[in-house]
Structure 1
Amino acid sequence: MTHRRIQVRGIAASGLPIQAFYYDNAGDADEIERIYQLDFHAWQDGDWDALGQIYRALPGALPEGGDLPRWFGDDEGHAPFLAASVETHGIMVYGALPPEQWERWQAAFHQRLAASQLPLYTYQGGEG
Structure 2
Amino acid sequence: MAVPVPTPDPAAFGSKSSLVWQAAPVQEHDWYYDNGEELLPDLGPGVPAADVAMRWMAVDRVYCLDRHRFTPANWDALQRIYQDLPGWQPFSSDGPRWFSLDEDRDLHLWASVEPSGLQVAGVLTLGMWCGWDPQFRCAITNHDLPRFMHMTRIPIPANHSKHKDHELRLEY
**Global fold match (TM > 0.5):** yes
Q: Counterpart in 2 of 1:9?
A: none
- Percentage of identical aligned residues: 38
Question: Using a 3 Å threshold, how does the CA distance of structure 1 residues 111 and 32 change in structure 2: closer, same or farther?
Answer: same
TM-score by length of 2: 0.59
CA RMSD of aligned residues (A): 2.3
1:55 aligns with 2:65: no
CA shift in 2, pair 1:27/1:114, >3 Å: closer
Q: Is the 8 A contact 2:96 2:112 kept in 1?
A: yes
After TM superposition, what 4+ stretches of structure 1 lie above 6 angstroms from structure 2?
Answer: none
Task: Tell me the amino acid that sits aligned with residue 139 of structure 2.
Answer: R
Amino acid at match of 2:112: S
Shift of 1:28: 2.5
Does 2:51 align with 1:24? no
**Paired residues for 1:56-75 under 5 Å:** 56-75=83-102
- What are the Cα deviations for residues 48-73 of structure 1, in whole angstroms up to 9, with x where unaligned? 11100000000111114411100000
Distance 2:125 2:94 in 1: 24
Q: Figure out how many residues of one structure are paired with residues of the other and give that number.
A: 112
Correspondence list, 1:22-101, <5 A:
22-29=32-39, 30-101=57-128
* Separation in structure 2 between the aligned mates of residue 40 and residue 27 of structure 1, nearest angstrom: 23
Instruction: List alignment gaps of at least 5 residues for structure 1.
Output: 1-13
Structure 2: which 5+ residue stretches go unaligned? Answer: 1-21, 40-56, 157-164, 166-172
Aligned partner of residue 33 in structure 2, secondary structure: strand
Evaluate the alpha carbon distance shift between residue 119 and residue 31 of structure 1 in structure 2; reply closer, same or farther with a 3 A threshold: same
Say if 2:60 and 2:119, in contact at 8 Å, map to a contact too: yes
Q: Secondary structure at the match of 2:72?
A: coil
